[in-house]
Amino acid sequence: MRPLVMKWAKLTGPLLFLTWTSCARVPAGRVILDRMDYGQVIADSWKRQTLLNVVRLRYADAPVFLDVASVINSYSVGGSVSGGGQLQNKQVPDGVQLGAGGSWSNTPTVTYQPLLGERFTRSLLQPVPPAAVFQLMQGGWPADLVMKTVVRTISGLRNDSFGAGGDPGFRELVEAMTRIQRAGNLGIRVEARPDGTAVVIVLRREGAAIPVVEDERRVRELLGLAKDTSDIEVTYGLVPRSGGEVAMITRSMLELILELGFGIDLPSTHATDGRATPGRWQAGEAQATPLVRVRSGAAAPPEAYAAVPYKGYWYWIEDNDIASKRVFSFLLILFSLAETGQGAAAPVVTVPSR
């Protein structure tokens, strides 16, 4: 009986494998790994695609946006086992046949969707609603970041545009509003009207410090607001029609991407041979401060926040350039805001009168 016992012992391994395959399952930890890995890859590809379109527009090339519509991943675990044994006798020698096998498959499916038609128009060509400018500041975004990025003009004061410097009054207005916001004196509430437009109310705490009071006075002066006006309507336009109105022209996402392109340090040959848009529209204009600084070189950088190849060169945002990273990340968030399809609103700003 000992040979028979030996053969059953040899069959123990395949039987254990059969038991394992019968209860095998995908470990729950795969969800954590896949979610982090896919999320990181999608975020990196989003940054690279946006940066590439910034570069393409500087070269007067058409932008192309391809969204990741869905990511579906499926797993399967399987196994098989076979075995055979033969008792000892005089004619046939001992024989044992054992076999085992397993399978593991991971089949991700990624769906891409081009940005075309109505979505392209809504997301890229429509200006950011003026009410959204105040909503962004209400959400905690600094006034200098929001206004320098999104606003083209406000009550006739011109922001830096297409590589040319803007009006000094615009910069002064942004600095004053930023100080008011940091002092906690800029409170904004957005309410819905029955007709669907928005009401934006700016509240000032009583007993504000003298510097804040002076900043509020200067904001009124720069915007041309009447001293005794409390409710100021914010409209989309170039010049206000009265002392109780603020006219604002905001940028579209496509215009903002084009604006970021003027911060590219072009290769010397590309800057002079007509391949790319010049740094200023008109010779002799004051140079604007770039919103984002994009470097260029013949080789890929060892480390970068985002880097893309184009026309034989590499273009990138340095990982230690926090100012450029801050604006570029804000641009990505604005893309999500543009996707909501929010219509332009006519907000009202309430400013306390003295």
Lowest-pLDDT choice from 231-235, 240-244, 297-301 = 231-235
Query: Per-residue pLDDT averaged across 133-157, rounded?
Result: 89
Range with the poorest average pLDDT among 93-97, 264-268, 307-311: 93-97
Q: 283 and 176 share a domain?
A: yes
Question: Which residue, 91, 114, 137, sits at the end of a domain?
Answer: 114
The residue-averaged pLDDT of 311-340 equals 88
pLDDT at residue 190 tops 70: no
Domain count, the chain: 2
Chain segment 99-125, per-residue pLDDT in tens:
666 666 667 777 877 777 677 777 788
- Judge if 145 and 263 occupy the same domain: yes
Q: Residue 125 corresponds to which tokens in the numbers above?
A: 């060509």
Give the pLDDT score at 93.
57
Q: Provide the pairing of β-strand 348-350 with 245-250.
A: unpaired
Q: What range defines the domain where residue 307 resides?
A: 118-350
Both tokens assigned to 287: 């140079």
Assess whether 96 and 187 both reside in one domain: no
Query: What pLDDT was estimated at residue 37?
Result: 80
- Does 56 share its domain with 136? no
Residue 158's DSSP bridge partners are 153
pLDDT over 70 (residue 200): no
For residues 149 and 110, membership in a common domain is answered with: no
**207 confidence band (pLDDT: 50, 70, 90):** low
Residues 221 and 243 in one domain: yes
- Has residue 220 got a pLDDT over 70? yes
**Range in 127-136, 206-215, 263-272 the model is least confident about:** 206-215
Q: Which of 93, 114, 135 is the last residue of a domain?
A: 114
Does 74 lie in the same domain as 135? no
- Residue 77 sits in the same domain as residue 213: no
142/280 same-domain check: yes
pLDDT at 246: 83
DSSP string, 21-68: HHH----THHHHHHHHHHHHHHHHHHHHHHHHHHHHHHTTPPP--EEE
Dihedral pair phi/psi, residue 168, rounded to 5°? -60, -30
Do 101 and 80 meet the contact criterion of CB atoms below 8 Å apart?
Answer: yes
- Percentage with pLDDT > 70 across the chain: 67
Q: What is the pLDDT of residue 9?
A: 45
Q: How many CB atoms lie within 10 A of CB 52?
A: 19
Q: DSSP states of 93-143 as a string?
A: --EEEEEEEEEEEEEEEEEEEE--HHHHIIIIISBPPHHHHHHHHHTT--H
pLDDT of residue 349: 42
18 and 91 both lie in a single domain: yes
Q: Which of 91-95, 216-220, 224-228 has the lowest mean pLDDT?
A: 91-95
> Are 85 and 216 in the same domain?
no
- 86 and 144 in a single domain? The answer is no
Tens-place pLDDT, residues 269-292: 887 888 888 776 555 566 778 899
Domain limit, last residue, from 114, 147, 176: 114
